Amino acid sequence: MASIRLSDRRRFLQGLTAAGVAAFTTRGVFAQQLVETATTTEGPFYPDKLPLDTDNDLIIVNDAVTPAVGEITHLSGRVLTKSGQPVRNAFVEIWQTDRTGSYVHTGGRQPTGHDTNFQGYGRFLSDAKGQYYFRTIKPIDYTLIGIFRTAHIHFAISQNGRRVFTSQMLVNGHPANARDGVIKALDRRALETLLVDFKPLPGSKLGELTASFDIVLGATLNELEVGPLRGVAPSTQKRRGGA
């Protein structure tokens, strides 16, 4: 199984590399600054205790045989500055519910049970081209602690030990988006930076999906490397309540 995951990772990062090369060598692509990816609340369910397995494959926990239930999704993208420069060694974290609508957070599980085979949280260090990759499941909408949420995946990015970005990636065209309070608080332009298409993986016999989410930080490389960063999201040591 490990060799399969490594093969998947290589294949998707190779595809990202080709796309990145085209972008950086095409005249006018970055003549104007990129649109900054909108930030949102962290929410109350960042893991209060990290799982034993924290790699970028959320489908398989450690060396388990049974995979998580859900639509397998290969999630990839790049971390960039507004000028289009790739952010190397960005610490990318994701967390989301399983197919029951449960988080790995001990206070974020459904009373009817949860999928013990879903890791629920993963991390990845971006490469020299700012690329990251996760294997996870397509998120679902759910109701937890009396709050309804549309399908989403939480993202956080840290650089040099500081949280510099927190947001939620959304499923483009999901019918529950119109009912979600977090989304209603965003203006149209901000919302568009978070909507992602989930597409069938060509040739997959398992019905796997792909999703691409480039994250544009509102900072230059110099700002990320030294000095205070304006608009830094709350650190994981100062988690807030609320949805």
Write out the catalytic residue numbers.
103, 142, 149, 152, 154
CA distances from 116 to 58, 112, 190 (A): 11, 13, 35
Whose CA is closest to 42, among 199, 165, 180, 174?
Answer: 165
In sequence order, the 6+-apart residues with CB closer than 8 A to the CB of 166 are: 39, 40, 41, 42, 154, 155, 156, 157, 233, 234
Q: If phi over 0 gives left and psi between -120 and 50 gives alpha, with beta otherwise, what is residue 161?
A: left
Bridge partner residues of 169 (DSSP):
153
Task: Output the six-digit token pair for 126.
Answer: 């971006």
Q: How big is the CA angle at 127 (ends 125 and 129), to the nearest 5 degrees? A: 140
Q: Are 122 and 57 in contact (CB under 8 A)?
A: yes
Q: Name the residue with tokens 């080709």.
A: 18
3-class secondary structure per residue, 87-116: CCCCEEEEECCCCCCCCCCCCCCCCCCCCC
